Every structure is written in structure tokens, then in C-alpha cells.
Homo-oligomer: A and B are copies of this chain.
Amino acid sequence: MLSRSHPKPSRTGRPRSVAADEAILEATRASLVDLGWSKLTMGDVATRAGVAKTTLYRRWAGKNELVVDAVAVLFDELELPDLGSLSADVQAVVLQFAALLERPETQTALMAVVAESTRDEALRTRIRDSIVNRQKHLVLQGRQRAQERGELPVEQDEAKAALTADLIFDVIAGAVVHRALVSAEPVDEDWARRFTLLLLAGLGAAAAG
């Protein structure tokens, strides 16, 4: 699930403490809540986790990678409910995602690691694998369900369908993040309803055009 730094399946020697692993990630989230991204230090995390600072560096290259892993697990909560209609499903996912973005550890970490990733290809890949693709999967899943329900047509052109899915994903995730973190206004049910209405109306019309 989590990539970590190549644990290199060596059959000999003292094994890495999995308990320490979870303690470190938990401590990282706690430190994010208390101090925020910029004031979080490796030393503080180590102290909170009850491990030596060197142990952190044996597993993670630095703050960036550590925080990505610590936050990534929170995105496991995201699930696509089956509420019977595409509209209801989208709205529910939007609210789930918004709830995630309300948590202080997610707020302060998400934008920061993405900012770092603009100058670090490996970090970008890591974020994509452990966070972004997990969200994108929800979009693909939602489309499939909608197609099974007959709410969306089964597209012929595979390439075009993938482009549309990418577009939808950027619109949903982008809009929610921007609303929550840039505009800093609540993503409540009313907003989610209006957004979903806009999106699905556009999706239907765009598919026809």
C-alpha cells in the first residue's frame, strides 16, 4: 500500500519495527495539527513517536516524503457510495472530500507537498500514486455505475472517454480544493448541490455537443 523507501526484502537481520512505522506516521499527523507544515520538524516527530531521529531518516528521505505517507492513509476513507443516482453519488463524494479538507492536517499538508512536488519529480510520482490516483479512481467508478444505470452513454472512443474523465476529475477535485482552501469558504450541502447540478448539466450537454 505505502511505498516507503525500498525495504529490500532481506531475509536476515533485525526486522524493521512496524509499530514504529505507524507511531511515526501518527506522530507526523499530530505534529501537522499542532504545528502545521512549516513548523513541523523531523526532530519533533521523532520525539512524539518515541523513536530516534535517525530512524526517521532510515525510512524516509525527508519531510516531504514522510508527510505524503502520513496524509495518504486519510484518503482511504474516500468511498463512492451507491445512492442510486449519479447526482447523489457525486454530491456525496464532494462532501466527503470536503470533510477531508477540513481536517487541519490535510489542509496544511496537501497544498504544501504539491507545491514541493513542482520541483521534485519523484515526489510528484509519489503523490500521484498514493493520493491523486486514489481519487481519480472514484471518478472512473462513478462513471461506470452511471453507465450501468443508463444515466451516461457508453462511449465508443476510448481515448476521448479518458480525456473526459481527466477533465471531470480536475474540475471536481480542483473546484472543491479551491473553494475550501483558496476561497476558504465552507463546502456545505448547498454548495455541493449547486456544483453537482452545474457539472452534470454540463456533462450531459457536452456529451451531446
Contact of A115 among B108, B173, B205 (CB under 8 A): B108
Please tell me which stretch of A53-61, A72-80, A193-201 contacts chain B, meaning at least 4 of its Cβ atoms lie within 8 angstroms of it: A193-201
The reply to whether B197 and A201 contact each other, CB–CB distance below 8 Å, is no
Q: Mostly helix, strand, loop or mixed at chain A's interface? A: helix
Is residue A10 contacting chain B, with contact meaning CB distance below 8 A?
Answer: no
Q: Does A171 contact B (CB under 8 A)?
A: yes
Instruction: Indicate which residue in B164, B173, B179, B194 contacts A206 across the interface (CB closer than 8 Å).
Output: B194
What's the least CB distance linking A93 to chain B, in Å?
15
A156 near B: Cβ within 8 Å?
A: no
> Contact at B111–A111, with CB atoms within 8 Å?
yes
Using a CB-CB cutoff of 8 Å, which residues 163-186 of chain A contact chain B? 163-164, 166-167, 169-171, 173-179, 181-185
Chain A residues proximal to chain B, CB less than 8 Å: 36-38, 104, 107-112, 114-119, 124, 127, 132, 163-164, 166-167, 169-171, 173-179, 181-185, 191, 194-195, 197-206, 209
